[in-house]
Each structure stands twice: as C-alpha cells, then as structure tokens.
Amino acid sequence: MRTIILGSRPSKLACWQTEHILGLLKTAWPDLTYRVVTLLTEGDKILDRPLPEIGGKGVFTAELESALRTGEIDLAVHSLKDLPVENSPGLCLGAIGQRACAQDVLISPGGYGLSSLPQGARVGTSSLRREAQIRAARPDLTVLPLRGNVDTRIRKALQGEYDAILLAAAGIERLGLEKHASEYLPFHVMLPAPGQGALAVQCRADDTGLLDLLRPIHDPAVERAVTAERAFLAGLGGGCSAPVAAYAEARGSLLEIQGMVASTDGRRVIRVSALGDDPQTLGSQLARQALDQGAGDLLQ
C-alpha cells in the first residue's frame, strides 16, 4: 500500500497548512499511510533582508519543488499566493483547498486602525503590494521592512519595534492569533495578493494515482476565483514581487474580479474591475484593461 509523503516548511503556519491537508486526505482515504518531511527553504534561512532582494516568493518554494522532482516527497502544501503563476517544469497544482479570509489585517499594539494611526507612525511589511496601498491611503506613514514568521512579526509589533504591522488574515486565523488584529482592512483600501487565503497542493504532473487521490479535497469554486486572479497577474507579465493585487468572487454563475497595479510609492494606483464567466479570459481582459490605463509603466 502506498505511503504518501508530504513536504512542509518548518514554520508554525506551514506545519498547520500541511496538517490541515493531511487531515482532509485521512478523512477521504483512511486506509492509506502518510508521513510528513520538514524541509528548510532559502526564505526560512535568510531573515535579515527584504523578500524582493533575495528572489521574491520563489525562495519559499524551490527546495520543496526540488524534493518533489527527486521523489523525496509526493506533495507540498503552499499558500497559493507564494506560487509563481507558471507551473514549474514537471509539477502541477493537484488540488486547491477551501479559501480562508482573503483580507489583510492591521495589528497595532496601541489598538489603532489605519486611519487613526498617528502621523509618521512606523508600519512594518515586506510586501510591495501592501506598501504601495498603505502609502496610497496614508502617505505620511513610515513603512519599514518586516521579516520572520507570523509569531515573530507579531512579537516585534508587541515589543514596540513598529506602531503597526500588516499580515494576511488567513495566517493569523489559522494560528488562532486573530485577537491581535486591530482592523480587517476592506478591499477598497487593501486588495489582497492573487490567491491569498487559498491553499495549493503541488505534486508531480505525471503522478496520476496521486492526482486521483487529491480530487476529493479540491474546491472547484475556489479554483475558478483564483484562476482569474492569477490570469490577471500573468497577463501583466507580473512576477509576484510587483505591487499587483486581485480578488475575484462568485456573482451567481458569473465571477466579479477587482484588480490593482500601483507604483511602489503609492502615488499612482490603477484599479480595474470586470464581470465574466470564464476565469482565464476574465483575468486576461482585466490585465489588458490595466495595461491600457498605463500599468506597464508601473511594472518596470
């Protein structure tokens, strides 16, 4: 009988995500055996430099992808927003799970919301997308780099290194840390990264047996939404490090998508939206709409 080997990064959140998918698989296939292997990625090792400087989102996935290719592991669980829009050679997304809250949250030890933060307050984030939208909403704030896992980031805020930090709601809710959130930021202020809140299970593209086993944990409605969001990013030629955001949700049989491209300083923000039924086409159309409004200049 086959043993399914899951690969995970060592952070608490990565372990939670892997255990969550493991639980779903055990429910669907209780007779199989499972094992979890923990792998340290480049992003886990280099914590003193901003993400875009050390290679962007790929620094969290390269080691896991290599272990998939060599057969050391059979599947890897990722936050979908960390995966590049192009599938890595020989690998595919075998399942996309249910989506958690896609919003970003502000965590402020003083209990401030974004609009009530004092002038010049220090806000921590390593995301160019969050930085651009914060600067657009509050150009007076001081944005500082913030690295580390969720626990470390929250601790830095509580110890007074920052007046506020920005994190994904999904991560803090999965770890039971939502009590620290002082504000859930609405989408018109802070649009999320494409795929934010969704979990993706990556595996070898030719492992048909495993692809069959993943079918019961796949959520087609979430796949539709995130396909549109990622098509928007792909249509911009976007690496994950550009200040690009997108969120799609069902409107009856249709999908409504909002997209954003900004300059890093937040002085120029292009917001677009569209309604359609084919996710891939919808995301591509939205990207063309943004490019027609000058998004290409901002992506340089």
Beta-carbon contacts of 179 under 8 Å, excluding residues fewer than 6 positions away, are none
Long-range contacts, stretch 16-23, CB < 8 angstroms, 24+ apart = 16/174, 16/175, 17/77, 17/78, 17/79, 17/174, 17/199, 18/77, 20/77, 20/97, 20/174, 20/199, 21/75, 21/77, 21/97, 21/199, 21/201, 21/217
Q: Identify the three-state secondary structure at position 293.
A: coil
Beta-carbon contacts of 292 under 8 Å, excluding residues fewer than 6 positions away, are none
Distance, in Å, from the CA atom of 144 to the CA atom of 173, rounded to the nearest integer, reads 24
Strand 164-168, strand 122-124: pairing: parallel
User: In the annotation, is 82 catalytic?
Assistant: yes
Beta-carbon contacts of 45 under 8 Å, excluding residues fewer than 6 positions away, are none
- The answer to whether 50 and 126 have CB atoms below 8 angstroms apart is yes
Q: Whats the size of the chain, residue-wise?
A: 300
Let me know the angle formed at the C-alpha of 82 by 79 and 85, rounded to the nearest 5 degrees. 115
What letter would DSSP give residue 120?
A: T
- Residue among 74, 82, 104, 163 flagged as catalytic: 82
CB atoms within 10 A of CB 50: 16
CB atoms within 10 A of CB 212: 10
Report the catalytic residues: 82
